[in-house]
Amino acid sequence: MDRAGITTDQEGVLEGVLIVQKEAGWTSHDVVAKVRSLLRGSKVGHAGTLDPSATGVLPILVGRATRIAEYLINWDKEYRAVLRLGETTDTQDATGQVLTKVDPCEVPEDVLQAVITRFRGIQQQLPPMYSAVKIGGQPLYKAARAGRTVEREERSIAIHQLEIVAVHGRDVILRIVCSKGTYIRTLCVDIGQVLGVGGHLLALERRRVGPLSIEQAMTIDQVAGHLTMGTLRERFISLDQLLFQLPAVVVNAEQAQRVLHGSPIFPVGVGQLASSPAAVPVRLKNEAGQLLAIGTHDTGRAGSIRIRKVLSLLSH
């Protein structure tokens, strides 16, 4: 681990997470492919898909960081969305064809505020047809493009914060903090439906994914520029930093070798996890502070820690 806390493999290949500001018109896969080409074939992935028309924070995982995607996708997300009242579309956003159009000018601001309040907290949401949700092994958007509507079940989501930033005529700017799996398009449609005038998502910017904010984000051109100048390493976030929410367990030298070979270890350090529930994921670090692996601590098995993912550069 270097002074910036960024890990590289033995050949100096950059690893960690880059916070990319996705531009409109790019798919999440486009961004991954571009970063992969810039880094000359490094393993690259992303955490949290954005629609092509959406902009904002897209965490790009490089190297061993691709192994921890499952621990990042549960982060909450913050969006700035523009809800256009009075128009519905077949895709629930501005990319689709307009289905209905009415004059929304008669919606009083106090009514709008009251309806917005109803959408805070735990909600049941029906995934839109134009989405990547798979039913029967096929993404819904394929059925939608073929003109078919597939029966689907509502899903539980959480809207932690929902507030009106501004109202410009028929356009309502919203700030939304929500759980994973929330469709902002569907939220806009549902608000418009309750108001009785319909609505769709006009524009969407993701401002934050967990602790990763848009203020930290770089465009693809900026990523390329930092790479050319040799300063890209400073813009990576290390795996240890990203996994900050997992309890850290320090192991001794003998235990570290077992960890690196994927072997389970037993009570590590007096009281480190005494109050932890069963099967809690933990970070395993050596005495020098280097992240070695992610394990699962099971209090029901004499406090054993099973190794789930070996992450250290010392592993082979």
| Torsion (CA) 129, 142, 50, 24 in degrees, nearest 10 | -110
Q: How far apart, in whole angstroms, are the C-alpha atoms of residue 50 and residue 30?
A: 11
Domains defined along the chain, listed by start = 16-74+211-241 (3.30.2350.10), 77-209 (3.30.2350.10), 246-310 (2.30.130.10)
Q: How far apart, in whole angstroms, are the C-alpha atoms of residue 16 and residue 280?
A: 23
As annotated, the active-site residues are: 51
Query: What pLDDT, on a 0 to 100 scale, did the predictor assign at position 315?
Result: 46
Contact indicator for 249, 266 with CB cutoff of 8 Å: no
Instruction: Give residue-wise pLDDT tens across range 118-137.
Output: 999 999 998 877 766 676 66
* Intervals of the chain under pLDDT 70: 1-13, 131-133, 135-137, 139-141, 143-144, 150, 267-278, 299-303, 313-316
Contact indicator for 203, 194 with CB cutoff of 8 Å: no
CA 296 to chain centre: 22
pTM: 0.86
Closest of 12, 75, 74, 1 to residue 42, by C-alpha:
12
Instruction: Give residue-wise pLDDT tens across range 140-162.
Output: 667 667 777 767 788 999 999 99
Contact indicator for 76, 180 with CB cutoff of 8 Å: yes
